[in-house]
Amino acid sequence: MPFKLRLISLLLRAIALTPLNVQRFLGRQLGTLMLRWDKRSARICRANVALCYPQLSNSERETLCRNSLQHTGMAFTELGCCYYWSEKKIRQCVSFEDNKTLTDALAEGKGVILASPHFGNWELIGQFLALEHPMHVLYRPAKDPATDAYILDRRSRLGTKLLPTDAGGVRGLSKAIKMGDIVGILPDQEPDREGGVFAPFFGHQALTMTLLSKLANRKKTPVLLTYMRRTDIGFSFHLERLDASIYQDDLKASATALNAAIEKLVRQYPEHYIWNYKRFATQPEGMPRLY
């Protein structure tokens, strides 16, 4: 294992030994440092917030950026609990009141698609659900083989099966859905041009994946907007079933419905969203670059 990766692994192991409130304190400090010293993250965050919240004053935008980057910092330090906590400790820190939504969807026998945006602690969703259900999650492999192997080992330790974002991974998702299992997709991760359509998000065109819509439309598989929100004492896990608009044959219309659902969630808890991600990196032909 390369030295840098070994150091990160040891750091996360050490963080995992601390209570969740300590992990979050460290994460907030990291986020504050990012706003000041990580010029790239701060620039992208400010650009996105200005784009999506033009009605806010400069000071309000800066506050949202600071809070968002603090949540980004917590998403890193909470990898300690995601990667190393026991099943018992994970169960104890998650409040889950929407189980009937999931069981009802599974009872239809068409599989279930979880649309889990970059919100709150999305890493913990697969770990938590894998304690009770077969889970298959699409992920983008890391460029470094050693880093990729480490991430695969940690994310799959409780039973989640990770599938790469390639043709084989898509076939794996289709097979899992046919078996009636749960699959997880990050719906706000920008795809390649050929794998997406432009659809509005906060009033601006965002290249949005069509994979989720195509998978859902084959058997009218239930699609659940899924998120793990931070609370004062742990996490609140929620599932919201998307309506029939996700099943439209027009992929742009389906992607628009998907983005609208994500936008509605983000507007409720804007600080939980990862605003330092280049969500609008690719623009329609002839439009200026935003970053």
Query: How is 222-250 classified by DSSP, letter by letter?
Result: -EEEEEEEE-SSSEEEEEEE--GGGG-SS
Instruction: State the pLDDT at residue 275.
Output: 98
Which residues fall within 8 angstroms of residue 79, CB to CB, at 6 or more apart?
A: 12, 15, 123, 154
> For the chain, which residues score pLDDT lower than 70?
none
pLDDT at 201: 98
pLDDT, tens only, 217-226? 999 999 999 9
Token output for 31: 């986020």
Amino acid 110: pLDDT: 97
In this structure, are residues 241 and 224 in contact, taking their beta carbons and an 8 Å threshold? yes
Q: Parallel, antiparallel, or unpaired for β 135-139 and 161-164?
A: parallel
Helical (H) or strand (E) element with 184:
strand 182-185
pLDDT at res. 2: 86
Biggest distance spanned by C-alpha atoms of the chain: 53
- Alpha carbon distance 141, 252 (integer Å): 27
* Chain centroid to CA 285: 27
Q: Please report the pLDDT score of residue 250 as a whole number.
A: 97
pLDDT at 1: 79
Residue 197: phi and psi, rounded to 5, are: -130, 155
pTM as predicted: 0.95
Q: Of 170, 174, 190, 205, whose CA–CA distance to 117 is shortest?
A: 190
